[in-house]
Amino acid sequence: MSTTPVERERPGEIAAGYLAAISLAASSIAVVYRPVRLAPFAILVALVAAGMAGRQSRLPALAVGVATLAWLVGMTIAVLTSRPIY
């Protein structure tokens, strides 16, 4: 009976997953609370996560898109409702 070896993720990919999760959390907060303070941080962390992860990793790529969209939506909401942006 032959078994295939289990492929383990590299430590960099695991760290990229955690960074992407932090970016997603910061992005969701940036939509409702001061987008100029939180969204650039979320975008930067997502870009670092995407750089650390391999090409097959989808979570960091999703985090970059969500962080960018959260910045756009957060800024739009803040401007339309006359709330502080920073």
**67-84: pLDDT as tens digits:** 999 999 999 999 999 888
Task: Give dist(CA 76, CA 78) in Å, integer.
Answer: 5
Q: pLDDT of 1-35, one tens digit each?
A: 677 777 777 888 999 999 999 999 999 999 999 89
> How are the residues of the chain apportioned to helix, strand and coil, as percentages rounded to the nearest 5?
70, 0, 30
Question: 57: closest CA among 25, 6, 10?
Answer: 10
pTM: 0.85
Q: pLDDT of 22-70, one tens digit each?
A: 999 999 999 999 899 999 999 999 999 999 987 888 999 999 999 999 9
pLDDT value, residue 41: 95
Task: Give dist(CA 32, CA 60) in Å, integer.
Answer: 22
